[in-house]
């Protein structure tokens, strides 16, 4: 790592409702469309051919355009194009993001804990120039409450849909 490059780690731990099954959390974490769309600054995205030799169902590549007005115009345009690879793993999904200005983010979204006491853990390792670190790290930190809200709402929706299916079967 060069003199002008630095690293940081941002971790969010989100307690999940006690009645949430682990398998439901993992299914949601492997829903790449959901994970991409949960970012409020995401403007558009498209899946691209994967360079990986892994099974297509495990590794998927995307180009994502984020609208990030917090970036000073002197540093970069507010429309940021990122190359993203998402890989399904045992307890969730790993992500690798290559963004402009040499920003690289490695992250994992995983379920941790035991049934009845589950947590969503989101850990992001950031490597970039010292100049960009403040902006990149602040965005990663600010995403915590947004992700929490979106993830809990999605779990609630899945639970309601499951209850509706059960009542139809019973009826």
**The whole model's pTM is what?**
0.86
CB 84 within 8 A of CB 95: yes
Copy the structure tokens of residue 110.
């995983």
Sorted by where each starts, the structural domains of the chain and their CATH numbers stand as 8-170 (3.30.530.20)
- Tell me, rounded to whole angstroms, the distance of Cα 16 from its chain centroid: 16
SS3 of residue 91 by DSSP: coil
The pLDDT tens digits along the chain (171 residues) read 566 899 999 999 999 999 899 999 999 999 999 999 998 888 999 999 876 565 567 899 999 998 876 666 656 667 889 999 999 999 999 999 999 889 999 999 999 999 999 999 999 999 999 988 998 999 899 888 999 999 999 999 988 887 666 666 666
CB 39 within 8 A of CB 54: no
Q: Give the separation between CA 78 and CA 1, rounded to whole angstroms.
A: 27
């Amino acid at each position: 790592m060069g003199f002008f490059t630095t690293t940081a780690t941002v971790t969010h731990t989100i307690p999940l409702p006690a009645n949430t099954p682990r398998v439901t959390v993992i299914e949601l974490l492997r829903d790449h469309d959901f994970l991409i769309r949960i970012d409020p600054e995401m403007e558009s995205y498209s899946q691209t051919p994967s360079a990986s030799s892994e099974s297509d169902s495990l590794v998927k590549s995307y180009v994502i355009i984020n609208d990030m007005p917090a970036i000073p115009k002197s540093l970069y345009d507010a429309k940021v194009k990122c190359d993203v690879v998402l890989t399904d793993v045992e307890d969730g999904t790993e992500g690798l993001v290559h963004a402009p200005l040499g920003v690289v983010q490695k992250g994992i979204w995983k379920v941790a804990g035991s049934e009845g006491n589950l947590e969503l853990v989101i850990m992001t390792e950031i490597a970039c120039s010292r100049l960009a670190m403040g902006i990149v790290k602040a965005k990663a930190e600010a995403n915590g409450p947004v992700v929490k809200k979106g993830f809990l709402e999605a779990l609630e929706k899945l639970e309601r849909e499951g209850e509706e299916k059960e009542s139809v079967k019973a009826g």
